[in-house]
């Protein structure tokens, strides 16, 4: 006996009421499946929207990081230049104090 024949014999054995119950049960399962499909589609859309939002935030953060990186680099260069200027000025002050100390006190060197 083929599987199709077995299935047709099973169906023939069902009463009309049993067939109606079976059809209603299958319709109910189909409706539930369709509702789940709609819910999954809505969840998918919400997730896609959230992903797009996170990607936009990520792009803004990358731009902000780049800006701060450049700002930090510029300030580091300014600091290095300022430290070099201070060091040169300190050397000039030391030289001046060592070579002109008497003039600074108003006494003059003799």
Render pLDDT for 6-28 as a digit per residue (tens, 0 to 9). 777 776 676 778 888 889 999 99
What is the distance between the terminal CA atoms of the chain, rounded to a whole angstrom?
134
**Is 47 or 12 the better-scoring residue by pLDDT?**
47
- Quick check: is 12 in a domain? yes
The pTM of this model reads 0.50
| 64-85 tens-digit pLDDT | 999 999 999 999 999 999 999 9
> Is the CB of residue 104 less than 8 Å from the CB of residue 97?
yes
Per-residue pLDDT, 104: 53
Asked if residue 110 is part of any domain, the answer here is: no
Domain assignment present for 93: yes
In a domain, 88, yes or no: yes
Q: Which domain holds residue 76?
A: 3-105
Give residue 110's pLDDT: 45
Q: How many domains does the chain have?
A: 1
């Amino acid at each position: 006996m083929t599987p199709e024949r077995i299935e047709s014999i099973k169906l023939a054995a069902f009463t009309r009421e049993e067939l109606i119950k079976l059809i209603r049960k299958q319709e109910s399962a189909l409706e539930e499946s369709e509702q789940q499909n709609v819910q999954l589609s809505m969840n998918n859309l919400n997730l896609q929207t959230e992903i797009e939002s996170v990607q936009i935030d990520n792009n803004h953060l990358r731009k902000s990081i780049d800006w701060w990186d450049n700002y930090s680099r510029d300030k580091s260069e300014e600091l290095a230049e300022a430290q070099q200027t201070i060091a040169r000025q300190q050397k000039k002050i030391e030289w001046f104090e060592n070579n002109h100390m008497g003039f600074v006190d108003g006494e003059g060197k003799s």
